[in-house]
Structure 1
Amino acid sequence: MFDYDSELARYQERLLAAFDIRPGDRVLDVGCGTGRTTRDAARAASSGTTLGIDVSGPMLARARQQAEAEGLHNVDFVQGDAQNHAFVAEHFTLAVSRFGTMFFSDPVVAFTNIGRALSPGARLVQLVWQAADRQEWHTVIREALSGRQASPTPAGGGDPFSLADPEVTAALLTAAGFTAVDVVDVREPVRYGPDAAGARAAVLQLRMAKEWLTDLDAASAERALDRLSVTLDAHDTGDGVWFDSRAWLVSARRR
């Protein structure tokens, strides 16, 4: 399983500061994965509650194990799709997401459903990726494995860059019943492993890497993997393999 917590550690600090969680908050974490953000929110909402939702059973299993190991009793996890999950209406005082909202098939329906779960005036705070051509991790790995340079990805549901256009994202949130939309440019490096060998193993777990290798014959795949190793070696700082990246920190309020 790819270690997104390690990859996104620099973003985690920025995100937690933006959440501004109060002790009594009731927090919803959308697309929680293995639950790092959910658990951090639970510690901040010490007299409140947190709920993480994700479609991945294996990730949620790890999230529950970690929460138990850390002795957190105000956190829970549910397997489901935030686009249509039957949340308790107007229950949460804050909704958050760390790169978990870009894959909805119908973003307006999804954000409307999340909005119904929020109390009036409650905030939604999320990180989403900027365009593909602004992500070094995407462009150089794609070029290594596929031999093609990355091109800007058009907005649309179902891919990591579907919320890359701030105007489109603001319009989606407004249509879903949110107001006071604010978008902030955030730039942090992402870490793919402790060294080039570890990063290579991590990259090959990613869906995008598997897709780029799928149609290659054996010889072409071997050359692609050699190019990947050279790329990862070049980004090995001695303190991990790092790539540049850019995101939008998007906040809004439910009407």
Structure 2
Amino acid sequence: MEANSTSTAVTTSTADRFSAEGWSGEEGLHWVDQRERYTRMHQGITDRIIEAAAVEPGAAVLDIGCGTGDTTYTAAAAGATRVLGIDVSAPMLAEAERRRTPHEAAQVTFLRADPQTHAFTPGAFDVAISRFGLLFFTDPSAAFANIAAALRPGGRLVFSTWQSPDRNEYFTLPLSVLAARIPMPKRDPDEPGGFSLADPDRIRNLLTSAGFDHIDITPVQERPWIARDIDDALTYLRAIPLTRSLLATLDAEADRELELALRTALAPKQTDDGLRLGTATWLVTARRGETE
């Protein structure tokens, strides 16, 4: 089985994919298209973030990398008086706005801006939350310092991030099938992307340098719902922008063989209520240091 000789490399860089333009292009459009899937897939993580954030009535909450608004609206439902969702993706924010009910209009607002550089009002928020929204900063040190400045002294930060790829069946199972047949793009583990905060020591160092204390990094292992069945899972995998670019390197015969291999690998993961794959994340909590 060979890749198409006219297209043997993936040329879309990580920097392009996870830039503001990338998130307003195919990456963001993919998340809008698959919103209901991702909402269900990440429901357990969303619930853990909101529980750990301990949002109190009257709290002001900042949702960083809010995407289509799952965590934003969940924070509002938990009792926050004011929730600001910030993201760089125009299509994802448009979807988040579309979901807002008249009842939520007084609580929830959205802002298209880069949380790494946006000039927040100092100390304006009691809590900052993020579900996988802190992984794509070009300068994470500056980003965490900016987030700290947006929190009041003693304000809380709660976020989720992926553990290393080898601990995540959700990534390793399909990628191992692909990697046996397609040259995979190489990346620096510290560059912006899904695993840029996989190392707990890096997380702790970044947070400490930004002025956070009371840092806790808790491992979370789950087997979330991914798809209704194998056909639905394959449709989803083919829709992911990176996978789509990889599959474009295959001729028709190679593509058929790859699909058969994926079906074989995914078959044991089917359950009575859908196809499930294991995930491993970190749930991180921290507090902005008190002003002396």
Give the alignment's TM-score, normalised by structure 2. Answer: 0.80
Match of 1:58 in 2: 91
Query: Cα 1:70–1:138, aligned 2, differ >3 Å: closer, same or farther?
Result: farther
2:129 matched to which residue of 1? 96
> Sequence identity, in percent?
38
Structure 2: stretches of 5+ with no match in the other structure: 1-32
Between the aligned partners of 1:108 and 1:148, the Cα distance in structure 2 is: 37
Q: Indicate conservation of the 8 Å contact 1:235/1:241, yes or no.
A: yes
Indicate the larger mover: 245-254 or 199-208: 199-208
Could you tell me which runs of 5 or more consecutive residues in structure 1 were left unpaired when the two chains were aligned. none
Q: 1:121 aligns with which of 138, 141, 154?
A: 154
Q: Report how far residue 14 of structure 1 moved.
A: 1.9
1:213 positional shift: 2.2
Opposite residue 11 of structure 1, the aligned amino acid is I
Give 2:16's aligned residue.
Answer: none
CA distance in 1, matches of 2:103, 2:39: 16
Cα contact 1:146–1:213 (8 A) shared by 2? no
1:142 alignment partner in structure 2 = 175
The amino acid that maps onto 1:44 is A
Q: CA deviation at 1:154?
A: 5.7
After TM superposition, give the deviation of residue 30 of structure 1 in Å: 0.7
CA RMSD of superposed structures (Å): 2.1
Structure 2 residue identity aligned to 1:50: V
Distance in 2 (CA, whole Å) between partners of 1:231 and 1:67 is 39
Q: Which residue of 2 aligns with 1:240?
A: 274
TM-aligned CA deviation for residue 43 of structure 1: 1.4
Does the Cα contact within 8 Å between 1:10 and 1:189 map onto a contact in 2? no
* Cα distance in structure 1, aligned partners of 2:167 and 2:104: 39
2-structure distance, mates of 1:177, 1:41: 24
For 2:215, give the aligned amino acid: V
Size of the aligned set, in residue pairs, is 253
Q: Aligned equivalents of 2:102 and 2:173: distance in 1?
A: 37
Structure 1 residue 224 displacement after superposition = 1.7
Corresponding position of 1:212: 246
SS in 2 for 1:114: helix
In the alignment, the residues of structure 1 paired with residue 102 and residue 38 of structure 2 have an alpha-carbon distance, to the nearest angstrom, of: 19
1:23 aligns with 2:61: no
- Does the CA-based 8 Å contact 1:107-1:157 persist in structure 2? no
Point out the structure with max Rg over C-alpha: 2
Q: Which has the higher contact order (CA 8 A, sep 6+)?
A: 2
Report if aligned partners of 1:145, 1:227 keep a CA contact under 8 Å in 2.
no
TM-score, length of structure 1 as denominator length: 0.91
- Cα distance, 1:109 vs. partner? 0.7
Of 64, 69, 75, the residue aligned with 2:108 is: 75
